[in-house]
């Protein structure tokens, strides 16, 4: 589907039932909860692995002798800058991995939802290929910057950004051929036009996801992925999936 056709579909007003979206989201969660659990486990493993790497320099400083206090003004300040830079790098790497894993989860979600059986090449590592890395890095860095800036602005802008940030990953998952500019244009257009219904269903599924704390503290790992489903359901109703139709239309070209 082209950029222009996607823009046109986003602008078309569609009547959607909140109750119907909740029902569809719960139904789909039952099909993908295991993959959602794997998504959270992979994210935790990335965080844990990078956390261990970040802790190595800190452990190294414990072996520094008291003589370093003589040069505290210079040496320690350099060490602090290095650690800050390392932490920033970790945040960026985690953001990039999160985008890649979430985009793959949306593709897996579609396979389960549309009962496609097995779609060749659909797995959690599918977007970490060389062809996708530039856009993957761009989205990860851009999303991290927006979240950071919104957090400094009294957090309130985060409530708006929740939907477009999810939407850009969703559009990237199903339209990776588009440029970063086009992806963000579509994401913010989609998020702004359908923000209300997306946020209501997202909030409901978020509450459901947090019920994992009541069942078992670690149970939230298995349920929190439910928060990613509502925007997929809205996307399916607003834009839909037209790969088969596109393939048929291109036969004579």
- pLDDT at residue 65 in the model: 44
Report the predicted TM-score, pTM, of the whole model to 2 decimal places: 0.86
Q: Which residue has the tokens 């704390």?
A: 213
Separation CA 175–CA 131 (nearest Å): 13
For helices 3-11 and 180-193, what crossing angle results, to 10°? 10
Separation CA 62–CA 78 (nearest Å): 16
- pLDDT at residue 235 in the model: 95
Q: What is the pLDDT along the chain (253 residues), one digit of tens a residue?
A: 889 999 999 988 778 899 999 999 999 999 999 999 999 999 888 887 777 766 666 565 555 544 444 444 444 567 677 777 888 888 899 899 999 999 999 999 999 998 776 667 788 999 999 999 999 999 999 999 999 998 888 778 888 999 999 999 999 999 999 999 999 999 999 999 999 999 999 999 888 888 776 766 667 788 889 999 999 999 999 998 876 555 444 444 4
Separation CA 77–CA 69 (nearest Å): 11
166-171 own/partner pairs: CB under 8 Å, 24+ apart: 166/191, 166/202, 166/228, 166/231, 167/191, 167/231, 167/235, 168/139, 168/143, 169/99, 169/102, 169/103, 169/106, 169/139, 169/143, 170/103, 170/106, 170/231, 170/232, 170/235, 171/6
- pLDDT at residue 58 in the model: 59
pLDDT in tens, 22-78: 999 999 999 999 999 999 999 888 887 777 766 666 565 555 544 444 444 444 567
Separation CA 242–CA 104 (nearest Å): 19
- pLDDT at residue 173 in the model: 95
Measured at the alpha carbon of residue 169, what is the angle toward residues 11 and 40, in degrees to the nearest 5?
140
- pLDDT at residue 249 in the model: 45
CB 225 within 8 A of CB 205: no
CA distances from 42 to 32, 97, 237 (A): 15, 9, 30
CA distances from 228 to 146, 156, 157 (A): 19, 21, 19
Measured at the alpha carbon of residue 174, what is the angle toward residues 193 and 10, in degrees to the nearest 5?
20
**Which of 206, 214, 130, 207 lies closest to 162 in space, CA to CA?**
206
- pLDDT at residue 59 in the model: 61
- pLDDT at residue 170 in the model: 96
């Amino acid at each position: 589907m082209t950029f222009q056709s996607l823009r046109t579909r986003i602008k078309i007003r569609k009547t959607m039932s909140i109750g119907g979206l909740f029902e569809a989201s719960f139904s789909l969660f039952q099909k993908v909860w295991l993959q959602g659990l794997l998504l959270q486990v992979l994210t935790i493993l990335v965080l844990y692995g990078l956390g261990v790497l970040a802790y190595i320099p800190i452990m190294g400083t414990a072996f520094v002798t008291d003589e370093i206090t003589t040069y505290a003004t210079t040496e320690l300040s350099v060490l602090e800058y290095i650690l800050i830079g390392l932490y920033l790098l970790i945040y960026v790497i985690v953001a990039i991995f999160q985008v890649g894993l979430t985009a793959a989860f949306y593709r897996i979600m579609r396979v389960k939802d549309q009962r496609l059986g097995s779609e060749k090449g659909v797995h959690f590592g599918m977007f970490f290929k060389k062809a996708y890395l530039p856009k993957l890095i761009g989205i990860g860095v851009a999303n991290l910057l927006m979240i950071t800036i919104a957090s400094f602005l009294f957090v309130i802008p985060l409530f708006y950004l929740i939907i477009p940030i999810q939407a850009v990953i969703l559009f990237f998952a199903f339209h990776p051929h588009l440029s970063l500019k086009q992806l963000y244009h579509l994401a913010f257009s989609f998020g702004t036009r359908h923000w209300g219904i997306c946020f209501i269903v997202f909030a409901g599924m978020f509450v459901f996801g947090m019920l994992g704390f009541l069942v078992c503290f670690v149970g939230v790992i298995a349920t929190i992925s439910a928060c990613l489903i509502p925007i997929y359901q809205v996307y399916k109703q607003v834009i839909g999936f037209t790969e088969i139709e596109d393939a048929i239309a291109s036969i004579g070209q």
